């Protein structure tokens, strides 16, 4: 793995550890429960992270369809509870894209990382390297929200 992204890859691995802990013990009703009418439920955060990982994989040259982009993409609207996929479907998509992303992190070269990113984020580094680091931060933000929701749902702390 290129040393320029090793730290970011480790942050994704932290999320790989924390996301299942955030979801542990939650039933569908809890996955769909929102703190407020305009707040995102746990299921949206999980689907959004899955969707974003699909997008990152595509940025890194491995074409991968977005996971329910209409439900979980940037700017998606809150929909009825029955519109969201099952936990099993999200987990299968999460596992699939995560394995592919981990493999891509191992194989990507410095020359590839130095290429301009097809999508620009709110960081000065406009290369693929910068995109990876931004999306690691983005993922950490949403994992933190998942931790808040877990505690709000009465399911304890995310970290011990």
> pTM of this prediction?
0.96
Secondary-structure percent of the chain, ordered helix, strand, coil, rounded to 5? 65, 0, 35
* Per-residue pLDDT tens over the stretch 13-52: 999 999 999 999 999 999 999 999 999 999 999 999 999 9
* Predicted confidence (pLDDT) per residue in 107-142, tens digit: 999 999 999 999 999 999 999 999 999 999 999 999
DSSP string of 76-105, one letter each residue: PPP--GGGSPPHHHHHHHHHHHHHHHHHHH
Q: Domains of the chain by range and CATH? A: 3-152 (1.20.120.450)
Q: Any bridge partners for residue 127, and if so which?
A: 116
Query: Per the structure block, which two tokens stand in for 30?
Result: 């809890």
Separation of alpha carbons 9 and 100, rounded Å: 13
- pLDDT score recorded for residue 140: 98
């Amino acid at each position: 793995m290129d040393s320029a992204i090793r730290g970011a890859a480790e942050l994704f691995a932290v999320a790989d550890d924390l996301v299942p802990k955030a979801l542990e013990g939650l039933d569908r009703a809890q996955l769909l429960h929102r703190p407020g009418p305009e707040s995102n439920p746990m299921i949206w955060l999980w689907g959004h992270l899955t969707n974003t990982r699909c997008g990152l994989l595509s940025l890194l040259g491995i074409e991968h369809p977005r996971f329910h982009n209409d439900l979980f993409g940037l700017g998606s609207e809150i929909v009825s509870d029955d519109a969201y996929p099952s936990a099993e479907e999200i987990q299968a998509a999460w596992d699939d894209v995560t394995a592919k992303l981990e493999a891509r992190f191992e194989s990507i070269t410095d020359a590839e990382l130095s290429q301009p990113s097809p999508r620009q984020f709110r960081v000065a580094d406009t290369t693929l390297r910068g995109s990876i680091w931004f999306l690691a931060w983005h993922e950490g933000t949403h994992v933190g929200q998942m931790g808040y929701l877990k505690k709000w749902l009465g399911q304890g702390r995310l970290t011990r």
